[in-house]
Structure 1
Amino acid sequence: MYNWEKSFQKWQSFQELDHSLRQKLTTMQDDPTALEDAFYKELTFGTGGMRGVLGPGTNRMNIYTVRKAVNGLANYLLENTVNVKDRGVVVAYDSRYMSQEFAVETAKVLGAYGIKTHVFESLRPTPLLSFAVRYFGTVAGVMITASHNPPEYNGFKVYNEDGGQITPSQAAQIIEEIQKTEDELSVPFMEKEEVEKEELLDWIGKEVDNAYLEQLKLISKLSMEEQEKEKDLGIVFTPLHGAANDLVVNGLDQLHFNQLHVVEKQAVPDPEFSTVDSPNPEEHQAFTMAIEHGKEVDADILLGTDPDGDRLGVAAKNSAGEYQVLTGNQLGALLLDYLLSHSNQAVLKSGRMLKTVVTSELGRAIADAYQVKTINTLTGFKYIGEKIHEFDATGETFIFGYEESYGYLISSICRDKDAVQAAVMASEMAHYWKQQGKTLLEALEGLYEQHGYFLEGMSSLTLKGKAGTEKIASIMEAFRSEPLESIATYQVEKVEDYLTGERKILGELEEKTETIELPKENMLKFILPNDSWVTLRPSGTEPKIKCYYGVCTDSKEESKRKLAVLKETMDQKIAAILN
């Protein structure tokens, strides 16, 4: 049993404890609940890395928990990859508190093992880190970010030598090495000046940015002549105080989108994200300032990226002239249709579209229309990146990958979702539809009329701390031990349990069981008639349990009604379990 009081005493008596962490620890001494939460466990290193609240303690993000993670990573790399010391590791970071400090700490620990670290001299978005791994040929990459979590969070995200997020098997081996480090306070490291002197710390300037922008231009579906023309498209862009500003602006500029307006107050990197309640383009309040600016300049579309620049939100004008934020599923469907309709048919024969199991089935319907095969992956872009890597060997062609949570990838120059690619392609797509006399919303309506009114929703319940973790586990256990046979008036046709890897086919006759050919994950999916479904899963990065819904009917009104019924029913069932 992990003894949090013993762990707290160890930290308190450590003479060389970082001064700012000691001050915070002192203020917590009379709050046993806060102390227990900070020390009751070690910060979890999950399938991609770790993310947590900043502060002192083994269950917090700080220089000591980061050093411990890097120590484990270093030992894993030395054991499992070749030419580690020369190839090195590349590190990027976003605008959060302690981001640059954690990047330097990573170099200091790797330096103690003689491993060279390339660190960007200023903040950069996550997709550029993925690109940089491939550009430099490093054995790994590290991104210091907590994505769109609240300001008090930061994180440590690990990438493999392919530029993708580490796979579950790689994560398991890294976790094993991390756990061998018993004392996070005594991890070996070099001082920053020493690492620089030994040339084990290489500061990166604009070299990688320029190489990325060259590749970004090649992604365009416009002819060379069209690329050079000035575009009649008004764009408002907000990076939401994050790291994507320069690359998005330069990416649009090189295709001559000259009517670009940046929300200047939100272009300033700010770890407090002081102009928004949450720096998450999935939440429509994040577009408040962009909408105001859009009305002032009569923009056609609004673009918003999250702090680490891997998620993109887009808003377009509706028939009333108001800006409407597209869902991740809607933007993904539009991008997919645009890309497929502007691709060489010969390429599409081996083409593959990748999406997650909680992403809209509209994408599959569109891909089917172009005779492109759809492959489902588990939730999380690491699985999409892993599939792209497999295509390198199989000869299959990656066409597009996306997930409902505003993550898209157009070109495999990166192996993680890329809001910069998506922002430039969304602008190009909006320009195309404007030339056809349509807005993005009118183009979307055309997809619904052709394929059916696919609508999706997601609800989440935040349950923080140790008690919250236990409640989330109890909810999943309740649905797993007594699987639903119906949701409202809709019969459940199949139950997919991704933890056991089993799909149960329900019906009047004998129940059948199939194997789900995907890695194990704590997730349940209930499949209903007519392309409708409900999925329940705990978040891998936040203290939340999420419920996803998808429906398809012949009308928008009926799809909205059905979606509302599913959501209300599931909310009631979850509330009943908690009560």
Structure 2
Amino acid sequence: MSNWKSVYNKWNQFQELDSKLKQELEQLKTNEQQLEDAFYKELSFGTGGIRGVLGVGTNRMNIYTIRKAVYGLASYLLENTVNVKERGVVVAYDSRYMSKEFAVETAKTLGTFGIRTYVFESLRPTPLLSFAVRYLGTAAGAMITASHNPPEYNGFKVYNDDGGQMIPEEANQIIENISKIENELAIPVMEQAELEEKQLLVWVGEEVDNAYLEQLRQISKLPVEEMEQDKDVTIVFTPLHGTAYSLVTRGLEQLNFRNISVVEEQAQPDPEFSSVESPNPEEHQAFSMAIELGKKVNADILLGTDPDADRLGVAVKDNNGQYTVLTGNQLGALLIDYILSHLEDVHLSNAKILKTIVTSELGQEVARHYGVDTINTLTGFKYIGEKIHEFDSTGERFVFGYEESYGYLISSFARDKDAVQAAVMASEMAYFWKKQGKTLLDALEVLYERHGYYREGMSSLTLKGKEGSEKIALIMDTIRKNPFEEIAGYNVEAVEDYLISERHLLSTNEIETIELPKENVLKFVLQNNSWVCLRPSGTEPKIKCYYGTCGTSLQESEQALAALKETMTKVMNEIIS
């Protein structure tokens, strides 16, 4: 947006501007740098939707950016989907600031098109929204969430009628419709009372929850008679001030897991996430209170979900009585092993595992051990959901999908990552191994001894604002034009550039086509089953660097991992300095 001041003036002169936003605009007038950041661009609609800092301006999350996104969605649905007005759109929301207000704002905008909106009466997890789209048969779904971002963020995530996140082809049409909107301040909305009177706003209660829980019970690999027995496993659970409390505890109880202790200080929804530095189970500090409680009750497994309950972290006790937080890659490999070991041979023949290109190769090796193929997708669960939808017509059997960032899906009754499913299955798996006198760490060691000691990691640079975006672009552009031939002493065997869909094999100088959608990602395949992958985040002001190594011992793999991280961090800092 070249002339941000003219956009600011338009907002400043708008007489009917929301009173809270008007007050914030007054406060920003003395800080031109913050004012420019609020108006220098429009909050971009990515493949999953929009996400940003709450506040006034076109580059912030507020009722006007929500209206603009919803207007684009409504236009897309009316052009591309049948019976939209009757089928409607279902909306759920999490515990963040403005979440319920944005959910109602979505209904107020859809209502002007005559499209009915189903809105949950209270906060619900993201996977339940995905399930609700399929259960209610709606034309689309929307989730008001910023996942595990800091408290000042919120977002609007869009789902297609299959219950999966919008894929790029769908999102691009929505973006095109959004681009036609000349004035976000002039988008018409209906009042809530009128919507309810005309039944264009329908409040949703527990019917969907109960239907979801019935499906959840069926993912168990336990014999029916064992499902009915009380389980000798002690669980500590924290929903980290988010949405997962009800469904996780009810899901565990219906399989007769009775020894569940909840971290009470983190059980209640709280938009400030006041007891943690970050409400992200990937961050080990998020488990501090769970570990404390785990020691008191001698827990076998600790479970932590992020605010919208699409990510699960797990910690287990080691032989010294200390709790170790598993990585997403480790838990994924364990779940693959548990699920496939309980599948009959007839179901293994056309079974498929789905994972992303930055997820560990250990899971693929475990699947190969059972004769099951693994399919790689681009980063983002929307691509896994898209493949599951393809399986509906090809007859291939989806048995598990995951990504390294703590996202898992066991059964396709939901089409997005589902921490509720994963929490129940991880608990069942811990119970299974405990009966054999083993912990999940013991089970993981078995996998390492069989397949190799795989270790993975990720580092990121946070670069905020306009200047930060330019630095991220500079890093990608510099490395793309000057690709590595070796990294930390490891020779590069192939360079994969997903922006141009090419894989360059260095030893033969051959070029292969990558059969995946184009995306701004660079991956360097190294010797010894190691790799490095660079990717700007689509939802945060970050550039992420992922690493994978494999050695004959844990120490060897971790040394290689540290060397790769050190080298890439140095390279990125040198480019931007």
Q: Is TM more than 0.5 here?
A: yes
Letter in structure 2 aligned against 1:549: Y
Task: Say whether 1:285 aligns with 2:289.
Answer: no
State, as a whole percentage, how many aligned pairs show the same letter.
70
CA distance in 1, matches of 2:36, 2:319: 54
Q: TM-score, normalised by structure 1?
A: 0.99
- 2:527 is matched with 529
Letter in structure 1 aligned against 2:269: P
Letter in structure 1 aligned against 2:477: E
Letter in structure 2 aligned against 1:134: R
- Which stretch shifts more, 563-572 or 96-105? 563-572
Deviation at 1:320, TM superposition (A): 1.1
- 1:84 is matched with 84
Deviation at 1:574, TM superposition (A): 1.0
CA distance in 1, matches of 2:64, 2:358: 36
- 2:547 is matched with 549
- 2:326 is matched with 326
Equivalent residue of 2:417, what SS? Answer: coil
Task: Say whether 1:364 aligns with 2:364.
Answer: yes
Deviation at 1:177, TM superposition (A): 0.5
Letter in structure 2 aligned against 1:145: T
CA distance in 1, matches of 2:319, 2:576: 43
Deviation at 1:53, TM superposition (A): 0.2
- 2:416 is matched with 416
For residues 2-39 of structure 1, give each alpha carbon's deviation from its aligned partner in whole angstroms, at most 9, with x where no partner exists: 31101111111111110111111111100000000000
For residues 421-442 of structure 1, give each alpha carbon's deviation from its aligned partner in whole angstroms, at most 9, with x where no partner exists: 0000000000000001000111
Equivalent residue of 1:219, what SS? Answer: coil
Q: List alignment gaps of at least 5 residues for structure 2.
A: none
Deviation at 1:489, TM superposition (A): 1.2
Equivalent residue of 1:520, what SS? Answer: coil
- Structure 1 moving runs of 4+ over 6 Å: none
- 1:378 is matched with 378
CA distance in 1, matches of 2:5, 2:166: 33
- 2:314 is matched with 314
CA distance in 2, matches of 1:48, 1:323: 35
Match of 2:567 among 546, 559, 569: 569
CA distance in 2, matches of 1:490, 1:69: 45
Q: TM-score, normalised by structure 2?
A: 1.00
- 1:352 is matched with 352
Letter in structure 1 aligned against 2:558: K
Q: List alignment gaps of at least 5 residues for structure 1.
A: none
Deviation at 1:417, TM superposition (A): 0.2
Letter in structure 1 aligned against 2:531: W
Equivalent residue of 1:157, what SS? Answer: strand
Equivalent residue of 1:493, what SS? Answer: strand
CA distance in 1, matches of 2:98, 2:16: 19
- 1:174 is matched with 174
- 2:459 is matched with 459
- 1:45 is matched with 45
- 2:247 is matched with 247
CA distance in 2, matches of 1:230, 1:2: 64
For residues 283-307 of structure 1, give each alpha carbon's deviation from its aligned partner in whole angstroms, at most 9, with x where no partner exists: 0000011011111111111000000
After TM superposition, the structure 1 = structure 2 runs for residues 107-506 of structure 1, keeping only pairs within 5 Å, are 107-506=107-506
Deviation at 1:339, TM superposition (A): 0.2
Letter in structure 2 aligned against 1:84: V
For residues 297-324 of structure 1, give each alpha carbon's deviation from its aligned partner in whole angstroms, at most 9, with x where no partner exists: 1111100000000000000001211001
Deviation at 1:575, TM superposition (A): 1.4
Letter in structure 1 aligned against 2:556: E
For residues 27-62 of structure 1, give each alpha carbon's deviation from its aligned partner in whole angstroms, at most 9, with x where no partner exists: 110000000000000001001100000000000000
Match of 1:540 among 538, 541, 544: 538
- 2:97 is matched with 97
Letter in structure 2 aligned against 1:385: G
Match of 2:516 among 515, 518, 523: 518
CA distance in 2, matches of 1:320, 1:494: 42
Supply the RMSD in Å over aligned alpha carbons: 0.6
After TM superposition, the structure 1 = structure 2 runs for residues 8-27 of structure 1, keeping only pairs within 5 Å, are 8-27=8-27
CA distance in 1, matches of 2:337, 2:225: 23
Equivalent residue of 2:415, what SS? Answer: coil
Letter in structure 1 aligned against 2:245: N
Equivalent residue of 1:68, what SS? Answer: helix
CA distance in 2, matches of 1:446, 1:479: 38
CA distance in 2, matches of 1:392, 1:2: 46
Instruction: State the number of aligned residues.
Output: 577
CA distance in 1, matches of 2:182, 2:356: 37
Letter in structure 2 aligned against 1:522: N
Deviation at 1:345, TM superposition (A): 1.2
For residues 538-579 of structure 1, give each alpha carbon's deviation from its aligned partner in whole angstroms, at most 9, with x where no partner exists: 011100001000011111111111111111111111111112
For residues 433-480 of structure 1, give each alpha carbon's deviation from its aligned partner in whole angstroms, at most 9, with x where no partner exists: 000100011110110001000000100110000000000000000110
Deviation at 1:188, TM superposition (A): 1.2
For residues 480-522 of structure 1, give each alpha carbon's deviation from its aligned partner in whole angstroms, at most 9, with x where no partner exists: 0000000021110000000010000001xx4110000000010
CA distance in 2, matches of 1:489, 1:290: 40
